[in-house]
Structure 1
């Protein structure tokens, strides 16, 4: 992570599950770095929102997380069935709600299958991709506990 000792984030989650940790650290202005295992992601805000536009916004990463999860599940389906993955894409767009609280109101994902995908496999590909972990989480939201350290 960042070399600091991990803090306990609360006890509301079941103790028998694996806990995945990441840390967000302020860089400057509206820019932050997210440390995930040995990976580092940057986030920022666009110029018109007061940021420096050096990286995607957290909301864009939410949409990207869903899109990449859908792509991953689709890719695994293709691999499992010995079908080509070349050309697989997921196009995504989202809109923000016009009222408060600030939130995403609509997400649209279009799975573009590989050109060689047989017609009889298309429905199955979409069904599997629609059951990805991020999609499931958005449909059955987790309990969220936000705390301030003492």
Structure 2
């Protein structure tokens, strides 16, 4: 989404059968738990932002989501081609906007391939990894609806 105009989505267009669901529940202060299938994640804010720093921030999880998606796609590429995944790493850095609205203004990902990756496979690994689902979603933003429950 570009700009600051709220973007809504009619729930008539939401695919009910294929919808992936999660739930966020307030824990205390600025801390929340996120239930995803049989997994529970936690988020909080740093001390300087009023939180208790018990977990990553939602924005850090956003960057982590992109970085892990890139790593997953890179790893699958390596596996598909019979190449080792040991040593595969993705380093992520992001910067926040200094103006409003609050948002991430840049994300930089650096893939460290396994040392055994042949030079002729490097470009293909980068191409595959940079087309992960989260990356594609950022380039083709979804419709987003934020609503109050009845």
TM-score for the superposition, normalised by structure 2: 0.91
Higher relative contact order (CA 8 A, sep 6+): 2
Tell me which stretches of 4 or more aligned residues in structure 1 moved more than 6 Å: none
Alignment of 1:60-139 (within 5 A): 60-139=60-139
Distance 1:28 1:42 in 2: 11
CA RMSD of aligned residues (A): 1.2
Shift of 1:79: 0.1
1:57 and 2:50 are equivalent in the alignment: no
The answer for the alignment partner of 1:12 in structure 2 is: 13
What runs of 5+ residues in structure 1 fail to find an aligned partner? 1-8
Shift of 1:98: 1.1
Shift of 1:14: 3.8
TM-score for the superposition, normalised by structure 1: 0.91
Shift of 1:149: 1.2
Distance 1:46 1:80 in 2: 40
Shift of 1:12: 2.9
**Deviation string for 1:48-80 (max 9, x for gaps)?**
000000000000000000000000000000000
How many residue pairs get aligned? The number is 141
Distance 1:83 1:120 in 2: 13
The answer for the alignment partner of 1:5 in structure 2 is: none
Alignment of 1:23-34 (within 5 A): 23-34=23-34
